[in-house]
């Protein structure tokens, strides 16, 4: 899918503007040059607002954003009392034989009292084109349609601000990436088949009219647990997860506002608070993992510890046997074997080749056989148990010491955070007071939601386990009645098929993850020509935690320079695009803003090379768009898609005009 | 790389590599081909009817083999 145009009406600096983007495969770049405050980022915001209802890239220092959130100030001021109008953004998307028009609008206006109003919810509409006419899809769920084009969770890898690239790998982003990859991997075929098999299994079950009291009881319980599972899933998916996401977004926005509020002390304290929050989260993760390790160690060592008393007693018995020269056994197995099969004569000269004496020696050999090897094995096992027990206390104290230290660090950090919260709460600036109070509200809401989510997740797991158990019990009960044999066979096909499909899905998701890892790594190493030797590998684990391994073995993700981060994000976006098969456009605000001048040239040379066949829209400032950068990109755009922004302060209006004008 | 038809191909390949009985492999493939050919179809009743037919076919095949 490519964006053919974006149309803005009364949206922030734009009164009525239509911006065409290049959809040419070879000349795939569109450049929009603009000074800070002229509305560059708001083009990006307009796209995310239209598609997802969020403005991800607000520059809070801009006066216009502070005064009114979304509508053009002049348009609003010129409204008479009682009049209303709409803020509207349309995005026209074209793909292979497909064309969609996504429009989001929001009612704003003036009450008869003269007070401004803005509706709380916007209206979203998705239309598709057939010939000359536009139609609404029959299933008419705009959000689903948009997620099929580009899921909300990974939008930040396609629509992003070059100055805020680090946020791509922060906090809960990995979970969002994992969920989104589940969505975009197009393994929905498996999900559908599982759903239908499940539906069918229920239908088959209902054919059974058993008179067996226990079977009926189990069936009723199964229905009840199914309802409980559906309820918990609904609660999580439709209520808690969206609320959690919204609350986290709001919290992030407030943090961002505090970070750039133009009050030096607040900016410093906020930066410190964010650092400490990060440290606190790391410490909490460390603490959790240490606790898990400690429990694992305890479980692993428990049999040895429990066996300790018996082992000591055994050792004591062995010692006594040794003392009495009864251990190791006084009969040597090898010697007896030699006598029996080679010498065939005892040391006393008795013939043992046959007869009663041979049988006696054979019996001795049998005893020796059992005592020789076990005695060696036993000493090994006993010494191992002893070693495990003796190191147990040391290892436990060591691990406990580390845990106490981490606990202490975590408490210290929490104390420092409290102090910062207090200092920020004491700052007597109205705007800061409001932001802090909002922040506290969202933080507490987020903590409550985290607890609620965990509670429902645990309950869901419990219900699922119980349902599984009931299912097995139900089958066992039914198998006692021959008349249900045929039904059970059909049900068994459903059971086994569901299990196989779930297994396939797991395997596929793993393969897709490994593909994403390989593509990201290949692309990243191809592009960081100069520092190729510095990094060893790119790792993406099952939870989509990303690491860039430095040649010395540590994770270098947090130490990447702005240019390297830029390249890494682009590499990851390219890998995501490959994995999903969606050819979504890339819109990058200030793509070279944080990159040093000498590196800027390299990146602008590299960008077109590996963004072939990808629609790219660059929103640049004049300090980024140097003559050299322009030259480097020139093979990828035509003058029809090189624009600049003009801002008329009196009219509070930005216009997109051709670059050369 | 993993566009829809490639994902479908991967799914079919994975079925072959599973440690399950042959009749079940065949059933799963039939079922997925049916799904691929009916993308967008939302009539749950029609699907369950078709699935039932496929199950009967699979069980018949299983009993013939044994």
CA distances from A495 to A23, A204, A209, A248, A637 (A): 48, 12, 20, 39, 56
A566 close to A578: Cβ distance less than 8 angstroms:
no
Checking A130-136 for CB contacts under 8 A at 24+ apart, the result is: A134/A101
User: Residue A184's pLDDT is what?
Assistant: 64
Q: Which of B54, B55, B56, B63 is the best mutation test for A, with the most CBs of A within 10 A?
A: B55
Which residue in A96, A148, A200, A519 has the most chain B C-beta atoms within 10 A of its own C-beta, making it the best mutation to test that interface?
A: A200
Question: What average pLDDT is seen over chain A?
Answer: 85
CB nearest A493 (choices: B35, B42, B59): B59
What is the three-class DSSP state of A263? coil
CA-wise closest residue to A362 among A336, A395, A398: A336
Share of chain B above pLDDT 90, in %: 5
The values of phi and psi at residue A577, to 5°, are -65, -40
Residue in the block written with tokens 């609660």:
A235
* Mean of pLDDT values over A330-353: 82
Residues of B with CB under 8 A from a CB of A: 1-4, 6-8, 10-11, 14-15, 18, 20, 24, 27-28, 31-32, 35-36, 39, 42, 44, 47-48, 51-52, 55-56, 58-59
**With the C-alpha atoms ordered A19, A24, A27, A29, is the resulting torsion angle positive or negative?**
positive
Identify which of A196, A496, A504 has the shortest CB distance to residue B14.
A504
- B chain contacts of residue A584, beta-carbon cutoff 8 Å: none
Predicted local distance difference test score (pLDDT) of residue B1: 36
Instruction: Report chain A residues whose CB lies below 8 A from the CB of B8.
Output: 189
Per the domain annotation, does A227 fall within a domain?
no
| Among candidate residues A163, A43, A167, A166, the one with its CA nearest the CA of residue A593 | A163
How, if at all, do strands A133-135 and A123-130 pair? antiparallel
How much is the pLDDT for A64? 44
In a domain, A445, yes or no: no
User: Which are the contacts of A236, defined by CB distance < 8 A and separation ≥ 6?
Assistant: A453, A456, A457, A460
Q: How far is B3 from chain A (nearest CA, A)?
A: 4
Residues A10 and A148 in one domain: yes
- Phi and psi angles of residue A10, each rounded to the nearest 5 degrees, phi first: 60, 20
Subunit contact B1:A519, Cβ cutoff 8 A: yes
What is the SS3 assignment for A568?
helix
Distance CA A58, CA A571 (A): 25
| Angstrom distance (rounded) from CA A251 to CA A268 | 18
Alpha carbon separation from A595 to A565, A582, A601, A620 (Å, rounded): 10, 29, 9, 13
> Cβ contacts of residue A349 below 8 Å, gap of 6+?
none
A504 touches chain B (CB under 8 A): yes
Backbone region of residue A104 per phi and psi (left: phi > 0; alpha: psi in -120 to 50; beta: other values): beta
The token duo for A595 is: 């990159």
- This prediction has a pTM of 0.61
Residue A581 has pLDDT above 70, yes or no: no
Give the count of Cβ contacts less than 8 A between chain A and B: 82
pLDDT at A454 over 80: yes
The Cα–Cα gap between A409 and A279 comes to 10
Q: Which residues of A touch B27 (CB under 8 A)?
A: 493, 497
Q: State how beta strands A159-161 and A586-589 pair.
A: parallel
Taking residue A98's Cβ as centre, other Cβ atoms within 10 Å add up to 12
Domain harbouring A551, CATH code: 3.40.50.300
Query: What SS3 state is found at A85?
Result: strand
User: Domain boundary residue among A107, A136, A159?
Assistant: A159
A8 with A155, same domain: the answer is yes
Question: Which is higher by pLDDT, A531 or A502?
Answer: A502
Give A 563-622 residues with CB within 8 A of chain B.
578-581
Residue A157 has pLDDT above 80, yes or no: no
Residues 6+ apart with CB under 8 A from B38: B47
Nearest chain B Cα distance for residue A21, angstroms: 25
Of A496, A507, A581, the CB nearest to B20: A496
Same domain, A143 and A7: yes
The shortest CB-CB distance from B1 to any of A199, A496, A515 is to A515
Instruction: Give the mean pLDDT of A367-381.
Output: 65
Q: Are A547 and A174 in contact (CB under 8 A)?
A: no
What was the pLDDT predicted at A580?
67
Q: Which residue has the higher pLDDT, A184 or A651?
A: A651
Nearest to A189 among B32, B48, B55 (CB): B32
Q: Which H/E stretch holds residue A471?
A: helix A430-478
Residue B27: how many other CB atoms lie within 10 Å: 25
Residues of chain A positioned with their CB less than 8 A from the CB of B31: 193, 197, 497
Report the pLDDT value the prediction gives residue A417, as an integer from 0 to 100.
Answer: 93
Nearest residue of chain A to residue B17 (CA atoms) = A504
Considering only CB atoms, which chain A residues are within 8 Å of B44?
Answer: 196, 199
Rounded Cα distance between A383 and A318, Å, is 13
Least CB–CB distance from B51: residue in A197, A578, A580: A197
State how far the Cα of A132 lies from the Cα of A613, in Å rounded to an integer: 27
Complex prediction ipTM: 0.89
Portion 91-130 of A in contact with B at CB < 8 A: none
What pLDDT does residue A62 have? 46
Mean pLDDT on A368-377: 62
User: Minimal Cα–Cα distance from B13 to chain A, Å?
Assistant: 10
Q: Which of A332, A365, A390 finishes a domain? A: A390
Last residue of a domain, one of A362, A390, A418: A390
* pLDDT, tens digit (0-9, with 9 covering 90-100), for A303-321: 888 888 888 888 888 888 7
Structural domain contains residue A167: no
The 10s digit of each residue's pLDDT in A89-133 is: 999 999 877 889 999 999 999 999 988 888 888 999 999 888 889
pLDDT of residue A233: 94
Please state the domain count of chain A.
3
Min Cα–Cα distance to chain A from B56, Å:
8
For the ranges A72-86, A165-179, A269-283, A506-520, which has the lowest average pLDDT?
A165-179
Domain of A318 in residue numbering reads as: 308-390
Task: Tell me how far apart the alpha carbons of residues A251 and A442 are, in angstroms, rounded to a whole number.
Answer: 6
Interface test with B, best of A193, A198, A486 (most B CBs within 10 A): A193
Q: How confident is the model at residue B43 (pLDDT cuts 50, 70, 90)?
A: low
Rounded to a whole number of angstroms, the distance from the CA of B26 to the nearest CA of chain A is: 11
Q: Which tokens go with A363?
A: 């019996």
Residues of chain B found within 8 Å of residue A185, distances taken between Cβ atoms:
2, 7
pLDDT (average), residues A566-585: 77
| pLDDT higher than threshold 70 for residue A222 | yes
Residues above pLDDT 70, as percent of chain A: 93
> Domain spans of chain B?
6-65
The answer to whether position A473 is within a domain reads no
Strands of the A653-658 sheet, one edge to the other:
A159-161, A586-589, A616-620, A29-33, A642-648, A653-658
Q: Which of B14, B31, B55 sits opposite A193 (nearest CB)?
A: B31
Residue A642 has pLDDT above 70, yes or no: yes
DSSP A167: G
User: Helix A485-527 to helix B4-17 angle, to the nearest 10 degrees?
Assistant: 120
- Model confidence at A632: pLDDT above 70: yes
Statement: residue A139 has pLDDT above 70: no
Backbone angles phi, psi at A13, to 5 degrees: -75, -5
Cis preceding linkage at A254, omega within 30: no
């Amino acid at each position: 899918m490519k964006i053919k145009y974006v149309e803005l009406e009364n949206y922030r600096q734009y009164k009525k503007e239509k911006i065409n983007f290049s959809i040419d495969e070879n000349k795939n770049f569109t450049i929009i040059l603009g000074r800070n405050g002229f509305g560059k980022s708001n083009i990006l915001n307009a796209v995310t607002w239209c598609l997802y209802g969020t403005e991800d890239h607000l520059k809070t220092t801009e006066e216009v954003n502070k005064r009114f959130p979304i509508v053009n100030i002049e348009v609003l001021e010129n409204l008479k009392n009682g009049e209303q109008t709409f803020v509207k953004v349309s995005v026209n998307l074209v793909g292979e034989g497909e064309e969609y028009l996504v429009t989001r609008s929001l009612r704003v206006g003036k009450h008869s009292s003269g007070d401004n109003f803005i509706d709380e919810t916007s209206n979203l509409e998705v239309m598709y084109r057939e010939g000359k006419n536009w139609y609404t899809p029959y299933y008419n769920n705009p959000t689903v349609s948009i997620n099929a084009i580009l899921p909300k969770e990974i939008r930040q890898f396609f629509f992003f601000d070059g100055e805020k690239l680090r946020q791509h790998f922060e906090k809960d982003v990995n979970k969002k990436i994992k969920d989104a990859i589940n969505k975009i991997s197009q393994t929905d075929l498996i999900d559908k088949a599982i759903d239908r098999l499940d539906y069918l299994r229920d239908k088959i079950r209902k054919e059974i009219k058993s008179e067996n009291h226990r079977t009926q009881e189990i069936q009723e319980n199964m229905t009840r647990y199914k309802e409980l599972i559906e309820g918990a899933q609904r609660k999580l998916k439709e209520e808690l997860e969206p609320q959690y996401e919204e609350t986290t977004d709001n919290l992030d926005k407030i943090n961002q506002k505090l970070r750039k509020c133009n009050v030096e002390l607040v900016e410093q304290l906020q930066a410190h608070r964010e650092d400490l929050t990060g440290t606190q989260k790391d410490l909490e993760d460390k603490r959790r993992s240490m606790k898990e390790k400690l429990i694992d160690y305890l479980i692993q060592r428990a049999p040895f510890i429990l066996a300790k008393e018996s082992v000591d007693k055994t050792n004591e018995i062995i010692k006594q046997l040794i003392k009495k020269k009864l251990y190791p056994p006084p009969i040597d197995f090898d010697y007896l074997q030699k006598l029996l099969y080679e010498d065939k004569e005892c040391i006393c000269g008795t013939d043992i080749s046959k007869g009663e004496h041979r049988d006696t020696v054979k019996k001795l050999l049998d005893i020796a056989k059992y005592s020789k090897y076990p005695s060696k094995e036993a000493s090994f096992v006993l010494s191992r148990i002893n070693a495990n027990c003796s190191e147990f206390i040391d290892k436990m104290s060591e691990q406990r010491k580390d845990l106490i230290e981490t606990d202490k660090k975590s408490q210290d950090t929490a104390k420092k955070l409290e102090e910062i919260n207090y200092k920020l709460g004491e700052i007597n600036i109205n705007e800061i007071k409001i932001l802090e109070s909002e922040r506290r509200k969202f933080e507490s809401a987020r903590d409550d939601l985290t607890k609620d989510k965990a509670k429902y997740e645990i309950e869901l797991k419990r219900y699922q386990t119980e349902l599984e158990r009931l299912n097995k019990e139900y089958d066992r009960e039914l198998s006692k009645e021959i008349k249900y044999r045929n039904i059970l066979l059909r049900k068994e096909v459903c059971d086994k098929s569901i299990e196989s499909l779930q297994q396939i899905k797991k395997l596929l998701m793993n393969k897709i993850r490994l593909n994403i890892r390989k593509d990201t790594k290949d692309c990243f190493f191809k592009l960081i020509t100069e520092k190729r030797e510095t990094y060893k590998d790119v790792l993406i684990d099952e939870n989509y935690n990303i690491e860039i391994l430095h040649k010395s073995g540590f994770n270098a993700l947090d130490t990447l320079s702005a240019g390297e981060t830029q390249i890494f994000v682009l590499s990851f976006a390219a890998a995501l695009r490959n994995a999903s098969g969606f050819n979504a456009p890339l819109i990058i605000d200030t793509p070279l803003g944080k990159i040093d001048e000498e590196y800027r040239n390299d990146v602008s040379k590299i960008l077109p090379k590996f963004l072939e066949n990808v629609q790219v829209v660059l929103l640049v400032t004049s300090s980024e768009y140097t003559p050299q950068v322009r030259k480097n990109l020139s093979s990828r755009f035509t003058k029809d898609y090189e624009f600049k922004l003009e801002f008329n302060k009196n009219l509070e209006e930005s216009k997109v005009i051709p670059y050369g004008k | 790389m993993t566009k829809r038809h490639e994902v479908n191909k991967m799914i079919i390949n994975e079925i072959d590599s599973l440690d399950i009985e042959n009749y079940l492999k065949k059933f799963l493939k039939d079922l997925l081909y049916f799904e691929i050919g009916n993308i967008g179809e939302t009539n749950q009743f029609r699907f369950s009817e078709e699935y039932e037919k496929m199950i009967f076919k699979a069980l018949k095949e299983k009993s013939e083999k044994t």
